[in-house]
């Protein structure tokens, strides 16, 4: 039962994470390979603030603001790059952020990580048990789903798709593609931050090892496999891949196997990305009217 609750909580958090990436990759066509950085910024901001005694009600918005601000500031130079280069710039940012977390020991305790992050308390309810935490995280997941769903259905969302499909045409129609991309990136960063906050207060321990390229790949795979540019795609992807990943973790295998299991699982994820791109780039759920 605990395992099931754990699974559902992790799925909810990764669904938020994937939905946020979907705004960028799916709807705007931005190649973000450093999405984990904003997850980490959210996690660290909220963790550090609550450890310093700030209540969750304030640390949450602060964390979202920090993630959004960093996304905004990064996107100003980075979005001047054409697709592929933007991908490398974000990849570089992800690595830089990990470097900062590792080196600024006075703030982040470096590789030691931050233990004992308190469970969140909202409106005098402490979300300290698995069922309660599930309510909190799935509540936020639904909220994210609703807000981002509203955003992408709005005229703003249609403009994002226009920018993705044909930047020149969008510019001719008077849409400033650069600004739309910045906004999309900032929105994605805020919700990645939210997923990070929920993650930090769920595991109660975070360290630089939690925020590697591996996480970005996982969330990218979730979006791509589920179906980028669709509502339900990231959620479906999160269910499939998190169930796979977490159930492998709970298999009782001899220790000499587990050393091989990590790389093997990553090999499968990498291969899945390649196979999907070659044979079904649209993923499980196809975008309506979408093109390959």
Partner 1 sequence: MDSISYYLQTVLNGILAGCIYALFAMGLTLIYGVLNFVNFAHGELIMWGAYFLFLFMAEPFGLPLYVAVFPALALTGCLGLAMDYSVFRPIRRANRLTLLIAAMGLSVFLRNAAQFFWGAEVRTYGFEVMAGTQFFGLYLTTQQFAIIGVTILCVIAVYLLFFRSRLGKSMRALSDNLDLARISGIDTKRAIRAAWVISAVLAAIGGILLALDTNLHPEMGIANLIKAFAATLIGGVGNLWGALLGGLLIGLAENIGVLFISPGYKDGIAFVIMVLILLARPYVIIGERSD
Interface residue list for partner 1 (CB under 8 A): 25, 29, 31, 33, 77-78, 80-85, 87-89, 91-93, 95-96, 99, 102-103, 167-168, 213, 217, 220-221, 224, 228, 259-260, 262-264, 266-267, 269-274, 276-278, 281, 291-292
How many Å apart are CA 130 and CA 20, to the nearest integer? Answer: 24
* Cβ at position 87, least distance to partner 1 in Å: 6
Contact at 8 Å (CB) between 148 and 24? no
Could you give the CA distance from residue 27 to residue 114 in angstroms, rounded to a whole number?
Answer: 35
Q: What's the alpha-carbon Rg for the chain, to the nearest Å?
A: 19
**Residue (253 or 277) nearer to partner 1, CB:** 277
Give the nearest distance from C-beta 190 to partner 1 in angstroms.
22
Question: Is the separation of the CB atoms in 156 and 147 below 8 Å?
Answer: no
CB nearer to partner 1: pick between 52 and 274: 274
**Choice between 288 and 291, CB closer to partner 1:** 291
The neighbour count for residue 81, using CB atoms within 10 Å, is 14
Cβ atoms of 47 and 107 closer than 8 Å? no
Q: Tell me how far, at minimum, the Cβ of 2 lies from partner 1, in Å.
A: 30
**CB of residue 270 to partner 1, shortest distance in Å:** 3
Residue 108 CB, shortest distance to partner 1, in Å, is 12
For residue 223, give every residue at least 6 positions away whose Cβ sits within 8 Å of its Cβ, in sequence order, or none.
18, 21, 22, 25, 26, 233, 234, 237, 283
Question: Nearer to partner 1 by C-beta: 89 or 238?
Answer: 89
Helix, coil or strand: residue 114 = strand
Residue 26 or 120 having the CB closest to partner 1: 26
Q: In the bound complex, what is the minimum distance in angstroms from residue 271's beta carbon to partner 1?
A: 5
Cβ proximity to partner 1: between 53 and 263 the closer is: 263
Q: Give the 3-state secondary structure percentages of the chain, helix then strand then coil, rounded to 5.
A: 75, 0, 20
Tell me how far CA of residue 126 lies from CA of 61, 132, 151, 201, in angstroms: 18, 8, 31, 11
Cβ neighbours of residue 49 closer than 8 Å, sequence gap 6 or more: 58, 59, 62, 63
Q: 251 or 278, CB closer to partner 1?
A: 278
Q: Which tokens sit at 102?
A: 């590792």
Least Å from the CB of residue 203 to partner 1: 23
């Amino acid at each position: 039962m605990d395992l099931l609750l754990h699974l559902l909580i992790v799925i909810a958090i990764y669904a938020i994470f994937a939905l946020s990436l979907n705004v960028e990759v799916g709807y705007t066509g931005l190649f973000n390979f450093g999405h984990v950085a904003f997850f980490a910024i959210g996690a660290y901001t909220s963790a550090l603030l609550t450890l310093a005694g700030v209540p969750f009600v304030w640390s949450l918005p602060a964390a979202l603001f920090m993630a959004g601000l960093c996304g905004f500031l990064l996107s100003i130079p980075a979005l001047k790059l054409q697709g592929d280069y933007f991908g490398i710039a974000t990849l570089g940012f992800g690595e830089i952020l990990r470097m900062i977390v590792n080196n600024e020991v006075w703030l982040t305790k470096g590789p030691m990580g931050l233990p004992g992050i308190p469970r969140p308390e909202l409106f005098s309810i402490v979300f300290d048990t698995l069922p309660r935490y599930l309510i909190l995280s799935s509540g936020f997941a639904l909220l994210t789903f609703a807000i981002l769903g509203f955003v992408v259905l709005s005229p703003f969302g249609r403009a994002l798709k226009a920018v993705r499909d044909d930047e020149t045409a969008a510019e001719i129609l008077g849409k400033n593609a650069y600004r739309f991309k910045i906004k999309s990136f900032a929105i994605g960063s805020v919700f990645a931050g939210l997923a990070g906050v929920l993650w930090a207060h769920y595991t109660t321990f975070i360290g630089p090892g939690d925020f590697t390229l591996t996480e970005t790949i996982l969330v990218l795979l979730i979006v791509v496999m589920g179906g980028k540019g669709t509502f339900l795609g990231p959620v479906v992807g999160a269910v499939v891949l998190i169930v796979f990943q977490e159930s492998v973790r709970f298999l009782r295998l001899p220790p000499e196997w587990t050393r091989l299991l990590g790389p093997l699982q990553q090999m499968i994820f990498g291969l899945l990305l390649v196979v999907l791109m070659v044979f079904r780039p649209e993923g499980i759920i196809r975008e309506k009217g979408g093109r390959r």
